[in-house]
Amino acid sequence: MRIRHVLAHEADRLREIRLRSLASDPDAFGATYERDLALPADWWERGARRSEQGAQRTFVAVDDDDAWLGMALVRPDEESLGDAVINAMWVAPEARRQGAGRALLEACVEWARARHFRGVNLNVRIANAAARAAYDAAGFAFVRAKGDEHVLKRSLL
């Protein structure tokens, strides 16, 4: 497994893995399968283009045949100026516990570090023990509760 980022011509594959993640783990995300299914083609095209240009980045975990087995999006955090935020983190069930989640998180953190963000934020459902364990292992610390989620942060200072 290796990590690379989504390129501008890969909007269809981006849509496919995101929809798969929402269908597979509906309780893990704020968005729903139905909502993202209804998004227009240009929404995915914009996401793929931004990933290639680097204003935000969607990283994917790929196998030797370039099958996409995991994803994570990192971008500037509009709710916390100077920080980045990670969303849409997901690893396919058949690929879990093999380090893909850890590698995706590190790629996101490196992206943020290279762009001089002060920290990387993310939200995780309180009930999501697997994700919480993965974030703990990657050095993300509890900041505050927000509804049924915890806000976590990894400082880059």
Ligand X SMILES: CC(C)(COP(=O)(O)OP(=O)(O)OC[C@H]1O[C@@H](n2cnc3c(N)ncnc32)[C@H](O)[C@@H]1OP(=O)(O)O)[C@@H](O)C(=O)NCCC(=O)NCCS
Residues lying near ligand X in the complex (CB under 6 A): 25, 28, 89-91, 96-102, 124, 128, 130-131, 133-134, 137
Min dist CB 47 to ligand X, Å, is 18
Residue with smaller CB distance to ligand X, 50 or 125: 125
Distance in Å, CB of 25 to ligand X, minimum: 4
- Rank residues 67 and 133 by Cβ distance to ligand X and give the closer one: 133
> Residue 65: phi, psi to the nearest 5?
-95, 10
Nearer to ligand X, 25 or 45 (CB): 25
Q: C-beta of 132: minimal distance to ligand X in Å?
A: 8
Beta-bridge mates of residue 24: none
- Which residues lie below 8 Å from residue 35, measured CB to CB, with a gap of 6+? none
* Shortest CB 133 distance to ligand X, Å: 3
What are residue 122's DSSP bridge partners?
152
In the bound complex, what is the minimum distance in angstroms from residue 8's beta carbon to ligand X?
25
> Which residue, 137 or 141, has its beta carbon nearer to ligand X?
137
Q: How far apart are CA 45 and CA 9, in angstroms?
A: 8
Would you call 110 exposed, middle or buried from its count of C-beta atoms within 10 A (0-12, 13-18, 19+)? middle
Residue 120 identity (one-letter amino acid): V
Cβ contact 127:26 at 8 Å: no
Euclidean distance between CA atoms 137 and 61, whole angstroms: 18
Of 6 and 124, the one with the shorter C-beta distance to ligand X is 124
